[in-house]
Amino acid sequence: MNIYPPGTRIAGQYEIAGRPLMGGMGIVYVCLDHGEDRPVALKTFRPEYLPDRAARDRFLREGTHWVELGRHPNIVHAYEICRSPDGLEVFIVLGLVAAEEGKADASLGSWNEIGPASRGPCLLGPSPADYPPRQRRMVQQKLRAGGVRAP
pLDDT in tens, 33-77: 999 999 999 999 888 887 888 888 888 888 899 999 888 878 889
Domains of the chain: 9-145 (3.30.200.20)
This prediction's pTM: 0.65
pLDDT in tens, 1-25: 578 999 999 998 999 998 898 888 8
DSSP characters for 70-82? ---TTSPPEEEEE
Residue type, 93: V
